[in-house]
């Protein structure tokens, strides 16, 4: 019987790093890595040498110096006596707020427009086409400036929301003429003025009066040319907190988030059990109201226990309800720069997401729709339960790119004086300290980290949406 012996293995030789295909790719990668590291080292050494010639060094100590400038919108306490580092944190939070809400609104707009572009209704499909083409073909900066101009130039001044003494006299006179003598402790409200302004428009205008416009949204929201004043939530019994590296940690917010996360987990557990029952019996239990209660009730009880109430914006008034002062006080003032940037980013990015959604839907075979119709599903349920879940695998990759673009495009808020990370660290702080290199390096690092986080989260979601082989 003949035995086949294994071929003797060659001893390793240095020439194998080049001529042997098993080692050649590794050799090339190591050489390229060394060259890249040498280039980065040369670039860093050249930068340091050039800075030294100008009596400069790389120093981040300026972050602990006094900033000396104000920031209109801030999510954490900040004054002009705070440090440049805290100003950068405030700017970063402003960036995150716009990016977070912008991604949410842009997704809703994009999905809505993308689906309607494929509508059988000719008019609706053409309207969505016009929206997509107009917003995609006009630079984002122009939309931001246009939005800011509309908000700041078309809204009334704060004085148009006031209840003045002549208004009180007019309402009192008309009530007396109608036989409704006002009581001694009568207090005028904007709603009363608006009522009599509608009943006697000629006399009201003839007296040179203008009804307060604050009755929009039931007198709780005032949109002026200086900003939008909305009710602000306050807690009577907050849970306190502490600071870490200048960033306040609020126990009340953490408690609400923890309860909300636990409620969502419980809701998903209930949904999985309902799916198991449906698989076993063919009948799905009605659990929508249970899911709604699981998510809302615990959070509502926690907020009630902490004494949630609302600070409604308005004017300071005397005992008769006549407004005093020139500015609206109370509530939360949302700057028009924030609103305009959010609206422009949402509409602009939504146009690109709409095309991604349309492409994802068209990538699904027409047979899927026909099969759903054959089972008796209506068009709305077919799109929601059959087409969109399959199209997500095609939609999500370009959607990640749009989220990244939206986050980086927030830097354009500088054009309308929105102080985000670019406006604080890369704008005023850079100009005041003269530390251009340090500010740019920090900004690049922060935006890189944000982009990697967004990409990682969306890639995890993309992996969850992949087809599971059985």
Choose from 17-26, 242-251, 383-392 the range with maximum mean pLDDT.
Answer: 383-392
- Under a CB-based contact definition with an 8 Å cutoff, are residues 199 and 279 in contact? no
Of 323, 357, 387, the residue that ends a domain is 323
| 206 and 300 together in one domain | no
- Under a CB-based contact definition with an 8 Å cutoff, are residues 55 and 381 in contact? no
Q: What is the DSSP string of 361-403?
A: HHTS-HHHHHHHHHTT--HHHHIIIIIHHHHHHHHHHHHHHHH
How large a percentage of the chain has pLDDT more than 70?
90
Range of the domain at 354: 63-158+330-464
Can you give the pLDDT at residue 281? 86
Of 278, 310, 342, the residue that ends a domain is 310
Q: How many domains does the chain have?
A: 3
Q: Is 263 helix (H, G, I), strand (E, B) or coil?
A: helix
Q: Which residues sit opposite 248 in a β-bridge?
A: 243
- Under a CB-based contact definition with an 8 Å cutoff, are residues 405 and 455 in contact? no
Which is more confident, 23 or 113?
A: 113
Q: What is the 3-state secondary structure (H, E, C) of 156-222?
A: CCHHHHCCCHHHHHHHHHHHHHCCCCCCCCCCCCHHHHHHHHHHCHHHHHHCCCCCCCCCHHHHCCE
Can you give the pLDDT at residue 215? 46
| 286 and 264 together in one domain | yes
Q: Tell me the residue length of the chain.
A: 470
Can you give the pLDDT at residue 239? 86
Residues 354-372: tens digit of each pLDDT: 999 999 999 888 888 888 8
| 282 and 400 together in one domain | no
| 144 and 256 together in one domain | no
Q: What is the mean pLDDT of residues 52-75?
A: 85
What is the torsional sign of CA 279, 280, 284, 289? negative
**Could you tell me the CATH number of the domain that includes residue 433?**
1.10.3720.10
- Asked whether residue 32 is domain-assigned, the answer is no
Nearest Cα residue to 84 out of 449, 460, 443, 451: 443
Which is more confident, 346 or 468?
A: 346
Q: What is the mean pLDDT of residues 51-62?
A: 80
Of 263, 297, 323, the residue that ends a domain is 323
Backbone dihedral angles phi then psi of residue 81, each to the nearest 5 degrees: -90, -5
């Amino acid at each position: 019987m003949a035995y086949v012996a294994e071929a003797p293995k060659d001893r390793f030789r240095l020439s194998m790093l080049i001529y042997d295909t098993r080692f050649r790719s590794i050799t090339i990668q190591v050489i390229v890595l060394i060259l890249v590291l040498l280039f980065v080292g040369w670039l860093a050494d050249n930068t340091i040498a050039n800075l030294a010639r100008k009596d400069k060094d790389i120093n981040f100590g300026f972050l602990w110096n006094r900033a000396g400038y104000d920031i209109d919108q801030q999510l954490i306490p900040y004054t002009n006596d705070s440090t440049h580092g805290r100003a950068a944190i405030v700017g970063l939070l402003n960036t995150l707020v716009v990016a977070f809400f912008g991604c949410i609104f842009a997704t809703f707009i994009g999905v809505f427009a993308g689906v309607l572009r494929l509508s059988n209704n000719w008019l609706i499909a053409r309207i969505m086409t016009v929206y997509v083409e107009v917003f995609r073909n006009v630079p984002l900066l122009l939309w931001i400036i246009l939005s800011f101009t509309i908000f700041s130039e078309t809204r009334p001044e704060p004085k148009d929301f006031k209840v003045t003494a002549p208004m009180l006299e007019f309402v009192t006179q008309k009530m007396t003429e109608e036989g409704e003598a006002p009581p001694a402790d009568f207090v005028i409200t904007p709603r009363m003025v608006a009522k009599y302004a509608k009943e006697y428009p000629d006399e009201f205008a003839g007296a040179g009066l203008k009804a307060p416009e604050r009755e929009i949204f039931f007198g709780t929201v005032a949109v002026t040319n200086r900003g939008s004043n909305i009710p602000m939530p306050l807690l009577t019994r907050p849970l306190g907190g502490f600071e870490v590296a200048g960033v306040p940690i609020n126990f009340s917010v953490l408690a609400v988030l923890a309860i909300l996360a636990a409620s969502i987990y419980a809701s998903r557990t209930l949904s999985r059990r309902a799916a198991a029952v449906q698989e076993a019996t063919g009948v799905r239990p009605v659990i929508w109201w249970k899911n709604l209660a699981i998510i809302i009730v615990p959070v509502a009880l926690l907020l009630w226990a902490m004494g949630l109430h609302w600070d409604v914006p308005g004017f300071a008034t005397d005992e008769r309800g006549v407004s005093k002062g020139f500015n609206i006080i109370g509530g939360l003032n949302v700057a028009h720069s924030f609103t305009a940037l959010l609206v422009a980013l949402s509409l602009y990015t939504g146009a690109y997401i709409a095309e991604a959604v349309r492409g994802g839907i068209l990538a699904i075979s027409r047979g899927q729709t026909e099969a759903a119709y054959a089972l008796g599903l209506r068009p709305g349920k077919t799109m929601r339960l059959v087409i969109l879940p399959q199209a997500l695998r095609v939609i999500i990759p370009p959607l990640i790119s749009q989220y990244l673009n939206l986050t980086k495009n927030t830097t354009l808020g500088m054009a309308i004086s929105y102080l985000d990370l670019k406006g604080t660290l890369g704008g005023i702080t850079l100009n005041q300290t003269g530390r251009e290199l340090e500010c740019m390096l920090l900004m690049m690092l922060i935006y890189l980290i944000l982009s990697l986080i967004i990409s990682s989260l969306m890639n995890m979601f993309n992996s969850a949406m992949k087809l599971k082989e059985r």
